[in-house]
């Protein structure tokens, strides 16, 4: 090894030094000292139960009600909308749960692990894209939260809060999220666990009030042919899956504090049920309420007012604010790790602070310049799938081929390291990624762009969410599987010093 080799210690030395100094790199309500480096076994105190509640809290927010309501306006029969929602959620979160196994086995965050499949330098581009996507979701989540805060202001008698009200709402929503994220993983986990009980309880009550008014046998306004129906169902699945697949560039960020011996099945089901179960429930709630009031597809906060009692609407507003905060916490935290993996030479909390400043500027621009939020949201989610599905197809299959075994020192080693690649690029990883991205691009249907195959053979459907992951996964498997069949010497675990 060269480059950072002088900064690398053996795993045994690192573990011993932590135990001797009784060092705590991930304190509760203190600043986490770790960043995109390896988490020593002695510090992996997280349980699968905590991971489950983390994902519940992260997904208990109105974004899923919003996209479910959009699906309800497409013209499908009620049961067809529900079927599309269920399939999209199951597929998306199965991938997320599978990828979460990598965190426990490696002790590394996702966009550090991806160096093995894209190369040391090639991975920088993926990290920068990931960071840009994180910033976009920070903006979108915060704007949803601001909508809720402004609605609360109105109920409290401040009918025209104007720019001042928007700024105060941003401070409340994004300021709290950024503060928790800067503190780090342990604080984030506690915050999500406490929040999930409050948010889920409120949303269950909302569901109970709304369910009695739904016409479960409702059909589409006009009869549709089989081809048109399938096209609309694919489009509905794409609307739902876009936001859910967005987790595929960060699942290991949160499972990396699990002990490395945690059974894979427990990790998978903990994430799948916590994240997927919560999101699916809220998407179904969105389809239900969206069929009752189409305004939910425009403003998921104000649109709920006519469907529930006044007292419950106030509680729903507070829950909407809380959900926006919890999901933004996750995104802001991961963005700091992505900036580090991209090469920003700062500590994790400093990288998170940089992200916070950039996102705050963009949030204020969107709110004060009155940008078209719905169009921006649809475009971001649609084009996100073209990137994140193929990305995940490569790095998750790469991990499965390695049986989730990585040498954490070699991942940070740079030139001469095991995962460095050809001039710092893993050509096979990028070739497989390109195959999945092309398949997605040809079959997507977004407000800003429609792929040629979407129009010609999919009846305006969107198959990008279906094809991106498996196409890149199969191409990468075909290119790399022969190399993993050759006998190899198991790597010796080593780790880099904490950052």
Residue-wise DSSP of 380-414: HHHHHHHHHHHHHHHHHHHHHHTTT---HHHHT--
Q: Where are the domains of the chain?
A: 32-375+405-416
pTM to 2 decimal places? 0.88
Reply yes or no on whether the pLDDT at 13 is more than 60: no
Q: What is the pLDDT at residue 16? A: 42
CA 488 → CA 38, 174, 485, distances in Å?
23, 48, 9
Answer whether 173's CB lies under 8 Å from 166's CB: no
CATH architecture assignment, domain 32-375+405-416: Orthogonal Bundle (1.10)
Closest to 179 measured CA to CA, from 50, 30, 53: 30
Q: Is 446 helix (H, G, I), strand (E, B) or coil?
A: coil
Q: What is the pLDDT at residue 290? A: 87
Reply yes or no on whether the pLDDT at 245 is more than 70: yes
Region 421-444: what's the mean pLDDT? Answer: 95
Reply yes or no on whether the pLDDT at 21 is more than 60: no
Reply yes or no on whether the pLDDT at 436 is more than 60: yes
Reply yes or no on whether the pLDDT at 498 is more than 50: no
Reply yes or no on whether the pLDDT at 293 is more than 90: no
pLDDT digits (tens, 9 = 90+) for 51-110: 999 999 999 988 899 999 999 988 888 889 999 999 999 999 999 999 999 999 999 999
Reply yes or no on whether the pLDDT at 200 is more than 80: yes
Q: Is 46 helix (H, G, I), strand (E, B) or coil?
A: coil
Answer whether 294's CB lies under 8 Å from 144's CB: no
């Amino acid at each position: 090894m060269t480059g950072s080799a002088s900064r690398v210690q053996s795993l045994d030395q690192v573990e011993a030094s932590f135990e001797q100094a009784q060092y705590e790199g991930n304190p509760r309500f203190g600043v986490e000292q770790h960043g995109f480096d390896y988490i020593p076994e002695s510090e992996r105190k997280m349980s699968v139960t905590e991971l489950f509640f983390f994902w519940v809290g992260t997904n208990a927010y109105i974004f899923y009600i919003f996209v479910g309501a959009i699906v309800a306006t497409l013209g499908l029969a009620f049961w067809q909308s529900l079927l599309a929602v269920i399939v999209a959620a199951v597929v998306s979160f199965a991938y997320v749960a599978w990828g979460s196994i990598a965190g426990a086995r490696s002790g590394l965050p996702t966009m550090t692990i991806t160096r093995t499949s894209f190369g040391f330098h090639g991975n920088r581009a993926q990290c920068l894209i990931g960071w840009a996507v994180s910033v976009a979701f920070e903006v979108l989540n915060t704007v949803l939260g601001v909508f809720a805060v402004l609605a609360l202001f109105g109920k409290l008698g401040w009918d025209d809060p104007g720019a001042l009200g928007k700024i105060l709402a941003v401070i409340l929503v994004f300021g709290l999220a950024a503060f928790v994220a800067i503190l780090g993983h342990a604080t984030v986990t506690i915050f999500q666990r406490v929040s999930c009980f409050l948010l889920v309880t409120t949303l269950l009550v909302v569901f109970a009030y709304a369910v009695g008014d739904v016409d479960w046998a409702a059909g589409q306004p006009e009869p549709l042919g089989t081809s048109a129906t399938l096209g609309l169902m694919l489009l509905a699945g794409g609307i739902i899956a876009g936001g859910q697949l967005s987790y595929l560039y960060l699942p290991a960020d949160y499972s990396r504090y699990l002990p490395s011996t945690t059974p894979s099945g427990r990790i998978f089901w903990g994430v799948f049920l916590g994240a997927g179960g919560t999101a699916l429930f809220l998407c179904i709630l969105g389809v239900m309420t969206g069929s009752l009031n189409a305004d939910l597809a425009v403003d998921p906060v104000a649109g709920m007012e006519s469907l529930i009692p006044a007292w419950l609407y106030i509680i729903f507003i507070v829950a909407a604010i809380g959900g926006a905060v919890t999901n933004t916490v996750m995104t802001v935290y991961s963005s700091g790790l992505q900036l580090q993996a991209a090469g920003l030479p700062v500590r994790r909390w400093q990288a998170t602070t940089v992200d916070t400043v950039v996102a705050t500027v963009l949030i204020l621009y969107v709110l004060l310049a009155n940008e078209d939020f719905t169009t921006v949201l649809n475009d971001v989610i649609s084009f996100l799938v073209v990137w994140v599905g193929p990305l995940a197809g490569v790095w998750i299959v790469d991990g499965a081929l390695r049986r989730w075994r990585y040498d954490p020192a070699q991942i940070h080693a740079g030139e001469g390291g095991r995962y460095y690649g050809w001039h710092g690029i893993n050509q096979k990883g990028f070739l497989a990624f390109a195959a999945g991205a092309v398949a997605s691009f040809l079959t997507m249907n977004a407000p800003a762009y429609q792929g040629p195959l979407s129009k010609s053979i999919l009846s305006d459907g969107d198959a990008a969410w279906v094809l991106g992951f498996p196409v890149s996964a199969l191409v990468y498997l075909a290119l790399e599987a022969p190399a993993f069949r050759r006998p190899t010497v198991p790597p010796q675990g080593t780790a880099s010093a904490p950052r």
